[in-house]
Structure 1
Amino acid sequence: MSEAKPPLFNRTYLKIIVWIVAIAIVLLTAGHNRSTYIDIKQQADLPLYFVNEDDSDLQLNFLFRTGAAINSDQQLLQKLLEQHVKQQLIDLTSLPSFSALKATLRVGISPDKIKISLTIPAVSADQTDKIQVLVEQLLQQLRYRPSAELEQRWTRLEAEQYLNLKDPENRLLSEFGNQINGSTTIHPLQRFADVYRHSITPSAMTLTLLGPNTKALAQQLSTVFHASSNTQINPLMAIAPTHQRLPPQGNQTYLLTGLVLPGRQQPHFATERLAVSTLQQLLEQQSEFKARLIWKSLDKQGYLAMIQQGTNINADTDLSPLMKSLLAQLDDRLINETRERLVNNYKTQMEQRSAQLAMLDTIAFYQLPLDYLNNVEAKLNQADDKAVRETIRQFLTGPERYQLILPAY
């Protein structure tokens, strides 16, 4: 009688193989889903950042630091700065250096910066000497020159703002901005030349380069930067948090609750972001009133505002019970669900290289770490639940809140 042969694989061995295969699949899947982030470089210690991207045109973005435009006058000055910059650069496009490189020019604003974009076709990206000449001419054109049209432009901007403030929410936000950024007795037009010289200057400039041959160009353009200016614009003093009742407008009452925040450079930005997103989810779960959150995280300053309206809200409404009721609904489950959604959205977004490249200006302007994109997920996961709760508590019930009421007639 023949002897029974032992099985080729015993049960323990098979279990080990199954586990090895499972782990390999997980690792391969994780590696496949993990984004490869762009490699951002900085030229020495200068505010000059670059990413090499061979398959694109060369883009130079000049980011001029204007300070956060939060109150009414600051917002008008920001728009006036944009118009004046466009006027001063009119002659640049007719220069031989501009046409020889087939360059294009664009000027835009955001609440804390003026952005000038210079785009040059990839075929000319290696002409670093010519590009440097054009950059120097651009900066030369930006040197302040008085304009006879300044007062007319200001008048038009004021008229546009007047119409814009007829919207109840815009009016509340404007009044809130005037409180947290104070005011000055000097008319903005009298300050305009000083504001322009302080903001539109190489000493207040961050430059980003994206495209082919950026390393060589960054080295060559390092000479266009100046030492930081000693000129200081006097900071505006905020009014202490208070309750303010505005003159009536419209047929519905609006309430604004606001909190001053430290700005984009602060080390706990991930906690702030998670807190704001969690609060948004909290508001969407209730049906007692309509609410809109406005979150601004700008250069060294920011704010969070909530505008409420509804049939059960009037000028005499005590918000304390509503706020405490919202706070009572906050739990770890909601915080963690919000965190997971933010992380997943970030992963999905960063799978697109264009989304990563779009972050170059943000990382450069706010002087964030060069590997910032690699660490966003970890920062969100490390954000402490208690810190998130405390941020939301300060906004809903804390003593540092601003509260404005715009009653109905």
Structure 2
Amino acid sequence: MANEYRPFFSRKHISALMWFSLLAILLLSTLGPGDVEYYEIEAAKSGNLYWMEMHEQPETLAILLPTPAALNPEQRRLQQLKTQILQTRLQQMASPAYSFNVAPRQDRIEITLRWASDQPVPDLKNLWRHLSQPVESARWHEALKKIEARQYLQSQSEEQQLIDQFFRQLQPETRADLLGMLATRYHQLFTSPRYAVSGEQAEEVAEQVQQQLPTGPQVAAQPMPRISASSEQQSSSGDHYRLLLGSTIVARIDPGYQAERIAARVLQDLLSANPGNSPLQFRLLWSALQEAGYRALLVSSQVHPESLLAQLQQQISDELIEHSQNQLAAEWQERMREPLNQQQALNQIAFYGLPTDSMAEYSQQLLDQEPEQIREIARRALQSEQQIRILHSPRN
């Protein structure tokens, strides 16, 4: 007698399972990716060494070398030259056991060493000794000439000329011989280093850093002078008005930093609201540095832009501010899902000496800022008063 086949599920059961699965998928999709897992940050009593243990990540040591602000063309050339010297010296010590990278920032130079967790810590004492040797300035004459040539080509656009004018007012050039300054400025790189360590064995590596590298008290950076309002006007080579409004802002560690950051996003969202219909083209430069930061708004239009900026001030609403706050907070949370982005955030926390919970608390700090303070900062940025004002008018 043949066995009769009986399906395990009836059609009703299968239909019910399908509907249940669909509802479960919809429910899970509304829950989002879940909370961000922030790695715990610890700091040495000296204040210039931070570390963060990260599972299944290679060991990473960031050596953060403070510099004077590299804003004007002169200081940018010097920053690039110091970076090139560090790269050359690291290449002379290259080892397959670790990789390295050197990156210039506007107030520091970052050296990043990375090696596998099953590899020993590099000989940090010998590396430091080699990097910090005195510089023979004359040997770097040709390298400086190449840097100057690249900078000249980059400065040919009218927009870059506006930016350079702004930075020269923010940070006046000394007109000194850069090669004559090089030996002293290079030596100063090593007087107040900070360190950020991350990886599977971060605490052990941090102990090696304390044993092999200098971890003395931090030396205060050279402050950026506070600017007074000024106005410049000249003819433009094109058929558009080009206006730059800029000013200094608070330092990264200042309690007012978050409000400044949100105000910059408000300006960006405001000016981007109707790109197809807007008579204004814009670019916003913004950075909070060790001692002070800067903000520069560049706008271009066929009509005089200041009247358009006055109209935009009236559009800074509570809704826009709340939207910008929420976007910034959400973007921060999303970025921090990537371990590499948490490593980069650790570098900033270590360099600026921020509290160890700064990474985890940052998004909430953004949401806690008062709208009135943000509105006032954003409105000020659209006004010529109390700012550096540089206007290039079209030739008629």
Contact kept? 1:195, 1:233, Cα under 8 Å:
no
Contact kept? 2:263, 2:378, Cα under 8 Å:
yes
Deviation at 1:247, TM superposition (A): 5.6
- Number of aligned residue pairs: give it: 362
* 1:364 corresponds to which of 346, 350, 362: 350
Q: Confirm or deny that 1:209 pairs with 2:197.
A: yes
1:316-355 maps to which residues of 2 (within 5 A)? 319=306, 321-355=307-341
Q: Which amino acid aligns with 2:164?
A: S
Q: Which amino acid aligns with 1:135?
A: L
Q: Confirm or deny that 1:307 pairs with 2:302.
A: no
In structure 1, the residue matched to 2:183 is 193
1:206-355 maps to which residues of 2 (within 5 A)? 206-223=194-211, 224-228=213-217, 237=225, 240-246=228-234, 248-285=236-273, 287-313=278-304, 319=306, 321-355=307-341
Whole-angstrom distance in 2 between the partners of 1:352 and 1:322: 40
The TM-score with structure 1 as length reference comes to 0.81
The TM-score with structure 2 as length reference comes to 0.84
Q: Confirm or deny that 1:139 pairs with 2:150.
A: no
Whole-angstrom distance in 1 between the partners of 2:241 and 2:200: 55
When residues 155 and 40 of structure 1 are mapped into structure 2, their CA distance, relative to the original with a 3 A threshold, is: same
Q: Secondary structure at the match of 2:327?
A: helix
1:87-106 maps to which residues of 2 (within 5 A)? 87-93=88-94, 98=95, 102-106=97-101
Q: Confirm or deny that 1:380 pairs with 2:370.
A: no
In structure 2, the residue matched to 1:41 is 42
Deviation at 1:357, TM superposition (A): 3.0
Whole-angstrom distance in 2 between the partners of 1:260 and 1:116: 28
Deviation at 1:119, TM superposition (A): 1.6
In the alignment, structure 1 segments of 5+ residues that lack a partner are: 1-25
Deviations 1:76-104 (A, max 9, x none): 111111112123333322xxxx45xx122
Deviations 1:352-385 (A, max 9, x none): 3443233111111121111112211221121011
Whole-angstrom distance in 1 between the partners of 2:218 and 2:203: 27
Deviation at 1:302, TM superposition (A): 1.4
Q: Secondary structure at the match of 2:209?
A: helix
Q: Confirm or deny that 1:152 pairs with 2:145.
A: no
1:9-24 maps to which residues of 2 (within 5 A)? none
Deviation at 1:228, TM superposition (A): 4.4
In structure 2, the residue matched to 1:23 is none
In structure 2, the residue matched to 1:3 is none
Whole-angstrom distance in 1 between the partners of 2:221 and 2:314: 44
In the alignment, structure 2 segments of 5+ residues that lack a partner are: 1-26
Q: Secondary structure at the match of 1:122?
A: coil
Whole-angstrom distance in 2 between the partners of 1:191 and 1:226: 26
Deviation at 1:226, TM superposition (A): 4.6
In structure 2, the residue matched to 1:66 is 67
Deviations 1:142-182 (A, max 9, x none): 12221433222222222211111111111111110000112
Deviations 1:251-270 (A, max 9, x none): 43311111211222211221
When residues 393 and 114 of structure 1 are mapped into structure 2, their CA distance, relative to the original with a 3 A threshold, is: same
Contact kept? 2:89, 2:130, Cα under 8 Å:
yes
In structure 2, the residue matched to 1:397 is 383
Deviation at 1:392, TM superposition (A): 1.2
When residues 153 and 238 of structure 1 are mapped into structure 2, their CA distance, relative to the original with a 3 A threshold, is: farther
Whole-angstrom distance in 2 between the partners of 1:86 and 1:354: 22
In structure 2, the residue matched to 1:7 is none
Deviations 1:232-264 (A, max 9, x none): 887665663211124643443311111211222
Whole-angstrom distance in 1 between the partners of 2:227 and 2:183: 26
* Greater alpha carbon shift after TM alignment, 241-250 vs 51-60: 241-250
Q: Secondary structure at the match of 1:267?
A: coil
Whole-angstrom distance in 1 between the partners of 2:379 and 2:107: 28
Deviations 1:24-66 (A, max 9, x none): xx9xx98972222111111232411111124122111111111
Q: Which amino acid aligns with 1:336?
A: E
In structure 2, the residue matched to 1:9 is none
Q: Secondary structure at the match of 2:138?
A: coil
Contact kept? 2:49, 2:215, Cα under 8 Å:
no
Q: Percent identity?
A: 24
When residues 50 and 235 of structure 1 are mapped into structure 2, their CA distance, relative to the original with a 3 A threshold, is: closer
Whole-angstrom distance in 1 between the partners of 2:353 and 2:285: 24
Deviation at 1:115, TM superposition (A): 1.4
